[in-house]
Amino acid sequence: MKITLNSVSFRYNGDYVLKDVNAEFETGKIYVVVGKNGSGKTTLLKILAGLLEAEGEIFLDGSPADPFLLRKNVGYVFQNPSSQIIGATVEEDVAFSLEILGLDESEMRKRIKKVLELVGLSGLEKEDPLSLSGGQKQRLAIASMLARDTHFLALDEPVSMLDPPSQREIFQVLESLKNEGKGIILVTHELEYLDDMDFILHISNGTIDFCGSWEKFMEREFGDVEIPFKWKLWKKCGKINLWEDRYENSGNQRRRDTV
């Protein structure tokens, strides 16, 4: 599935936040959106998720897509998880996101169990979401959208409240979803643990001024993006996964230390 934006613009109180944006997003890929605060990153995600109605044209697999159709196909995770947590318990919060789908109770329970295990909240089903830590609330917000099983996920700073090991864990979940055919569109400043991205989009002054691979991104100068040390090593040494415990060299696997 593909979402296409043609000359998409959006303004608040007459001032354009996004201007003449053209982009494509496909399932089975991870897109990372970067840029300074206020550049339009969150607005772009909300347009893709059907939460804002923009000027211009939006297509889903070549057919015009209104906000309702986008909401059916794109799950949105807010930057502040408290904005979307409404259930009295953890499992009720995930269940709420499923009620509009008309699923039977057995299917709902199956999905709830699966997504809570994926995000590391298994065993907390009966907990009050208000008692969770900030990082656990982020995990719950992600779980609620995962349960909907949409073609795309749009996530706004989904790991900002997590410690580095937990950030890596959530990114690995997103990478596994990509491998299952989901499209992941991600706004984050935490690039250190995201190894499997396909495209980086840089937004400046409301326009996308770069879209390409991390290798091409490294050839440009973007003063508003902090480049992870690992990426700098990749550039010098050739891209290898510095977080894997093993690598394959001429058919033989050798042990090596992680960085």
157 given a catalytic annotation: yes
CB 40 within 8 A of CB 18: yes
Tokens of 40: 């339009």
Catalytic: which of 157, 226, 244, 248? 157
Helices marked H in 119-257 — which ranges?
Answer: 134-148, 164-179, 214-218, 229-237
| Residue 202: strand, helix, or coil | strand
What gap in Å lies between CA 19 and CA 75, rounded to an integer? 24
Q: Quick count: other Cβ atoms within 10 Å of Cβ 74?
A: 27
Residue with tokens 């917000």: 141
Residues contacting 81, CB < 8 A, separation 6+: 134, 137, 138, 140, 141, 161
| Helices 90-99/134-148 angle, 10° precision | 30
63 burial via Cβ count (<10 Å: 0-12, 13-18, 19+): exposed
Residue with tokens 């690992």: 230
Active site residues: 157
